[in-house]
């Protein structure tokens, strides 16, 4: 193969992304330089944070430039190597972008054993989303046996791991998801103790599922869900701010569909609440080997389940990304470049 199909950011979205914000092009196959590896992407990762990269605003990472390849992590195989650490055929995590090939510094790649777990899991339960769950729950949530942990977007890439890790720690876990199928998966497959369908009466469902209040809330959504959960946090509760996907597509920062902004945070003082945001890259990646070993142990013992939503072909990435932001995905969203 001599050409490299890519998906570029054609224009910055106004609100929710649309197909015209992306363009599919072909460029010459990149040539790895000394110390680099040419990676043939097998799976690319679609994640909510990529929506923020499409806007030209100050953040913890630079935005994608207009006309540049859309950002993402990828898992793939070495197609050519100019570094002794890797040989052709090796599986690696760390390819980059919505494209078929990328040339990457060997030191930026993480070798993965495709015999330990399906390679695509390196983008989900064994990848950045799983590491996010593992780091945030341990460092900020600090759940204790017997406490009640509530997880929003519970069927998603991060949420499904958070809830199962909390169960392993002996907590009572309540998952918030959208629709009966996702709630059934969260309860019956992931093993959460109760579920709340955010399309229904949030207040009534939360009262029934959490009669004694909430000790830890994992925030993936924001908006109306956050507003309903916040008053139910107990004294010394912890609120782990991972994301607010309901607000990513709105210039005003309010939740989608006319939902109210976040709650009045005044009670945080009286209740001595801990509300903390974090970025997994701050402290997570140096701990990746420990995380992967622990998670593989849970998976082999049957304590960790996961679900992927797989789109096929690079051209499918924009529609899959748009659908993910609208909540149409079911599990960790990846694109198989087959």
Q: What's residue 270's pLDDT?
A: 94
State residue 254's pLDDT score. 36
**Which pLDDT belongs to residue 319?**
98
- Is 246 within 8 Å of 227 (Cβ atoms)? no
Answer yes or no: are the C-beta atoms of 196 and 170 closer than 8 Å: no
Q: What is the pLDDT of residues 157-209, one digit of tens each?
A: 999 999 999 999 999 999 999 999 999 999 999 999 999 999 999 999 999 99
List of residues 6+ apart from 153 with CB closer than 8 A: 159, 176, 177, 220, 221, 245
Name the DSSP letter for residue 161: H
Backbone angles phi, psi at 292, to 5 degrees: -60, -45
CB 225, CB 260: distance < 8 Å = no
pLDDT at 255: 38
Q: How does strand 214-219 pair with strand 308-312?
A: unpaired
* Separation of alpha carbons 238 and 159, rounded Å: 16
Q: Where are the domains of the chain?
A: 3-124+307-336, 128-281
Task: Look at the domain 3-124+307-336 and name its fold.
Answer: Quinone Oxidoreductase; Chain A, domain 1 (3.90.180)
- pLDDT of res. 246: 77
Across the 338 residues of the chain, what is the mean pLDDT of every consecutive 10-residue run? 94 95 97 97 96 90 95 97 97 95 96 96 97 98 98 97 98 97 98 97 98 97 94 98 81 42 82 96 94 97 97 98 94 95
278-295: pLDDT as tens digits: 999 999 999 999 999 999
Q: Rounded distance, CA 158 to CA 152, Å?
A: 10
Burial pattern 260-285, b for ≥16 Cβ within 10 A else e, equals: eebeeeeebeebebbbeebebeeebe
Architecture of 128-281 per CATH? 3-Layer(aba) Sandwich (3.40)
Reported pTM = 0.92
Element housing 234 (H / E): strand 233-241
């Amino acid at each position: 193969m001599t050409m490299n199909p890519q998906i570029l950011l054609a224009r910055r979205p106004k609100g929710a992304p649309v197909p015209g914000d992306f363009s599919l092009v072909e460029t010459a196959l990149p040539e790895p330089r000394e110390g680099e590896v040419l990676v043939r992407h097998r799976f690319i990762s679609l994640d909510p944070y990529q929506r923020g990269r499409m806007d030209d605003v100050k953040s913890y990472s630079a935005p994608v430039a207009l006309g540049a390849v859309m950002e993402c992590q990828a898992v793939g195989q070495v197609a050519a190597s100019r570094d002794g650490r890797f040989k052709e055929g090796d599986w690696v995590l760390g390819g980059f972008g919505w494209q078929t090939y990328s040339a990457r510094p060997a030191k930026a790649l993480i070798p993965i054993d495709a015999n330990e777990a399906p390679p695509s899991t390196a983008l989900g339960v064994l990848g950045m989303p799983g590491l996010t769950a593992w780091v945030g729950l341990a460092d900020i949530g600090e759940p204790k046996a017997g406490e009640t942990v509530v997880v929003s977007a519970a069927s998603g890439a991060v949420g499904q791991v958070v809830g199962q890790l909390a169960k392993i720690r002996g907590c009572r876990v309540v998952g918030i998801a959208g629709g009966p199928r996702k709630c059934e998966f969260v309860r019956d497959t992931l093993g959460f103790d109760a579920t709340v369908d955010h399309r229904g009466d949030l207040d009534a469902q939360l009262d029934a599922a959490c009669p004694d209040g909430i000790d830890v809330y994992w925030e993936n959504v924001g908006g109306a869900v956050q507003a309903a959960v916040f008053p139910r946090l107990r004294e010394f509760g912890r609120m782990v701010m991972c994301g607010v996907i309901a607000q990513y597509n709105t210039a005003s920062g309010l939740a989608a569909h006319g939902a109210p902004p976040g709650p009045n945070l005044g009670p945080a003082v009286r209740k001595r609440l801990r509300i903390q945001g974090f970025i997994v890259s701050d402290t997570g990646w140096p701990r990746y080997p420990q995380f992967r070993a622990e998670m593989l142990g849970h998976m082999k013992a049957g304590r960790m389940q996961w679900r992927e939503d797989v789109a096929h072909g690079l051209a499918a990435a924009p529609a899959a990304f748009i659908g993910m932001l609208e909540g149409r995905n079911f599990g960790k969203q990846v694109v198989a470049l087959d």
